[in-house]
Amino acid sequence: MKFSTHTHVRPLNTATAAALATVALLAATQPQAQSFPSKPLRLIVAFVPGGPTDIVARVVAGKMSEGLGQQVLVENRGGAGGTVGADVAAKSPGDGYTLLLGTISILGVAPSVYPNLPYDPRKSFAPVSLLTNAYFVIGANNTAVPGTLQEFIAQAKASPGKFNFASNGAGNITHIAGELFNNMAGTKIVHIPYKGSAPAAVDVAAGRAHIQFDVLTAFQQHIAAGNLKALAVAAPKRDPKLPNVPTTAEAGLPAFVLSAWFGLVATAGSPEPVIRRLNAEVNKGLAANDVRETIAKLGLESAGGTPEQFAALIAYENERWPAIVKAAGIKLD
C-alpha cells in the first residue's frame, strides 16, 4: 500500500501572527500573566546539541528571554526518538515554566509507534505556537552512494540489505521517512538509529552510514564541505538553496513529499493567560529580522500563529499517521 506523505503547513504572515498574539495578550489581564515570569524558564530539547531542534530552540529562547525579562534556559534531554525529553516536560508542573521544543516526531508520530508512550500529545501539553516548517532532503555519502536517486534505488533493489539509512532515533520522523521510502521505492534499506541529526549526519559524511532523510540544516555543512550530497528534495518545488538538486517528483519518486515542523508547548495545566503571554513573545521573536534570517539560513521557514492553530495541527498529525506507520510495520516498546 502506497501513501502520500505531503503535509502542507502554511506559515502565517508574521506581522499578522504578532498582531493576533498582541491582541490576545492585551485581553489576558489576569494576575498570572501580570506576575509571570518571576523566575527563569527551562526549554527542553529532546535531542542532543547541534541539530536543527537545538539551534532553533536557542534562537527562540534568546528572543523570549529578552521579552520576558527572565532567562529561558535550554536543556537537552535526548533519547528514545525524543520521547524521553517529552516525558520530562509532561511530568513537570503545569505553571508555564517548563517548555518543550515539540516536533512532528514527538507530538505527531510517536503515538503511532510507541504503544506504551508515557504521555499524550493532545492531553499532556498546552500548545503555545508553531515555530518553523521545512521540507525534507535526501542526503547521501558521496562515495558509498554514487549517481542519482534513481540509480541508487536501482542498486538498492538489486542488493537488498546492502545499504542503510541513519535516523535521529527509532520512531522519529526521520526513521519513519526511511521506512516510507522503502515502501514507495520498493527497496530494503536497513535502519541505523542515532541520538540526533548531528551525529547521524557525521556518520553519513564519513561513510559509516549511507543516506539520511532530514531537513537541510541537518547536513548543510557537510554538503558545503563536499562530504555529502543531496540526492533530492522531498518538496513540491526545488529549494532555492539547492537549485541544482531535483525534487523527488523530478527524480522519479513523486509520492515522497515530506515536511517537518517544530513548535513550542508548555506542560498541560499552564494558565491560559501565561500561554497567551508566551505566544505573544514567540510571535514577536519570529517577527524579528535577525531571527527570521537565522532561521532561513538553517533552511527552515518561520511560522508562528495562535495556540489554537498549533493545537489543530497536532490533532491532524495524530489522526493521519497511524495507518501509515502500520503499513510500514513499525512498532516500538
User: What average pLDDT values come out for the chain (333 residues) when binned by 10 residues?
Assistant: 53 54 49 82 93 90 97 93 93 98 93 92 98 95 94 97 93 88 93 92 97 91 94 94 95 92 98 98 96 85 96 94 82 72
Nearest 5°: phi and psi at 32? -55, -45
Tell me, what's the pLDDT at 21?
A: 53
- pLDDT tens-digit series, residues 175-228: 989 998 998 999 999 999 998 889 999 999 999 999 999 988 888 899 999 999
Q: Kindly report the three-state secondary structure assignment for every residue of the chain.
A: CCCCCCCCCCCCCHHHHHHHHHHHHHHCCCHHHHHCCCCCEEEEECCCCCCHHHHHHHHHHHHHHHHHCCCEEEEECCCHHHHHHHHHHHCCCCCCCEEEEEEHHHHHHHHHHCCCCCCCCCCCEEEEEEEEEEEEEEEEECCCCCCCHHHHHHHHHHCCCCCEEEECCCCCHHHHHHHHHHHHHCCCCEEEECCCHHHHHHHHHHCCCCEEEEEHHHCHHHHHCCCEEEEEEECCCCCCCCCCCCECCCCCCCCCCCEEEEEEEEECCCCHHHHHHHHHHHHHHHHCHHHHHHHHHCCCEECCCCHHHHHHHHHHHHHHHHHHHHHHCCCCC
**pLDDT for res 26:** 47
Q: What are phi and psi of 51, to 5 degrees?
A: -85, 180
Amino acid identity at 235: A
User: How far from each other are the two terminal CA atoms of the chain, in whole angstroms?
Assistant: 25
Which pLDDT value is given to residue 29?
Answer: 37
One-letter amino acid of 224: A
pLDDT the model gives residue 183 = 87
- Other C-beta atoms within 10 Å of 1: how many? 8
Q: Are strands 259-267 and 125-141 parallel, antiparallel or unpaired?
A: antiparallel
Mind listing the domains of the chain with CATH numbers? 14-134+260-328 (3.40.190.150), 136-234 (3.40.190.10)
Residue 169: is it exposed, middle or buried by C-beta count within 10 angstroms (0-12/13-18/19+)?
Answer: buried
Alpha carbon distance 262, 264 (integer Å): 7
C-alpha triplet 104, 109, 112: angle, nearest 5°: 170
Q: What pLDDT was estimated at residue 63?
A: 97
Cell digits for 330?
Answer: 513499525
Backbone φ and ψ of 20, nearest 5°:
-60, -45
Q: How far apart are CA 268 and CA 122, in angstroms?
A: 9
Distances in whole angstroms, Cα of residue 288 to Cα of each of 162, 261, 277: 47, 19, 17
pTM: 0.74
Residue 187, Cβ density class (10 Å: 0-12 exposed, 13-18 middle, ≥19 buried): buried
